[in-house]
Amino acid sequence: MDLSTIPLFSAVLDGLAGLVETIGTLLEPVTGSWAPLLAIVVLTALVRLILLPVGISQVRAERTRRRLAPELAALRRRYAGRPEALNRALIEFYQAHRTSPVAGCLPLLAQAPVLSAVYALFVHQEVAGHANQLLSAVVGGVPLGANLFHLIGTTVTAIWPFLVVLLLLGCAIELSRRATLAWNAAPAGTEESNPSAQAGALAVIVRWLPFVSVGFAAIVPFAAAVYLATSALWTVAERAVLRRMLRGGLAPGM
């Protein structure tokens, strides 16, 4: 079922479309034909700013996992080969520390509906029963409603903005991966001494799976690709700032 046909969801999309058009109109005297694209960037940044408390919760959960990692590793060694005893010990452990193994997932789930609604605006050709004017705009020679495959066979001049956005998305994914690895580096004594071949294969999958987003961005409208890249870059910057604040003991509520 297309959620955009639900009256409430449709009204939300219509309101977002109006907001993007207003932002574009305000930016046009300064940015010219690039105003529709920059309006998407501004809307994405505004939404992510509103969701900043969710980002803080995610960093708080990361900190908790990092702090508890040595104790969890010790528990797993102590109850190795005794899965039922380990499960009981883990339940007691998480209860004692007032956390859970899914604590880091909850903030992601909380922001998913909002980000999905914003994304939906950039993939629907119709909004609230009328044409989505946002997707009819052309920026840098690329229609915001076209995907990369629509542009195959055109000139490099007409395709380069899309390629730049995909490159930015890929760079954001890689920067996020490296920053997360550095932040969540396993403390001494918690590494697995003899990783299995299966674990090694899983590590390879985990290493490259996020880049599927780049391929996905190539098949959605250019407007949606811009949204995905902007949101990914925001995540990199947000996490860097919050983690730095956390190290200095300045992060709100931490």
Q: What is the pLDDT of residue 199?
A: 58
Listing DSSP states for 114-130 in one string gives: HHHHHHHHTT-SEETTE
Q: Any idea which residue has 């590494």 for tokens?
A: 191
Q: Decide if 177 is inside a domain.
A: yes
Q: Decide if 30 is inside a domain.
A: yes
Question: What distance in Å separates the CA atoms of residue 148 and residue 217, rounded to the nearest whole number?
Answer: 9
Residue 63 near residue 254, CB atoms below 8 Å: yes
Listing DSSP states for 126-148 in one string gives: EETTEE-GGGG-EETTEETT--G
**Total residue count of the chain as it appears in this document:** 254
Domain tally for the chain?
Answer: 1
Q: What is the pLDDT of residue 89?
A: 86
Closest CA to 124 of 219, 223, 44, 15: 223
Q: Decide if 252 is inside a domain.
A: no
Burial 13-49 (b: 16+ CB within 10 A, else e): bbebbeebbebbeebeeeeeebbbbbbbbbbbeebbe
- The pLDDT profile of the chain, 254 residues, written as one tens digit per residue, is 565 667 788 888 888 999 999 999 999 999 999 999 999 999 999 999 998 988 888 888 878 887 888 888 888 888 888 888 888 888 888 888 878 777 667 666 777 888 888 888 898 888 878 888 888 899 888 889 999 888 887 666 678 889 999 999 999 999 998 888 887 665 555 455 455 556 567 777 777 888 899 999 999 999 999 999 999 999 999 999 988 887 665 555 54
Tell me which residue range forms the domain holding 28. 3-247
Q: What is the pLDDT of residue 107?
A: 63
Q: What is the pLDDT of residue 116?
A: 84
Q: What is the pLDDT of residue 106?
A: 64
Q: Decide if 254 is inside a domain.
A: no
Q: What is the pLDDT of residue 250?
A: 52
pTM above 0.85, yes or no: no
Q: What is the pLDDT of residue 113?
A: 81
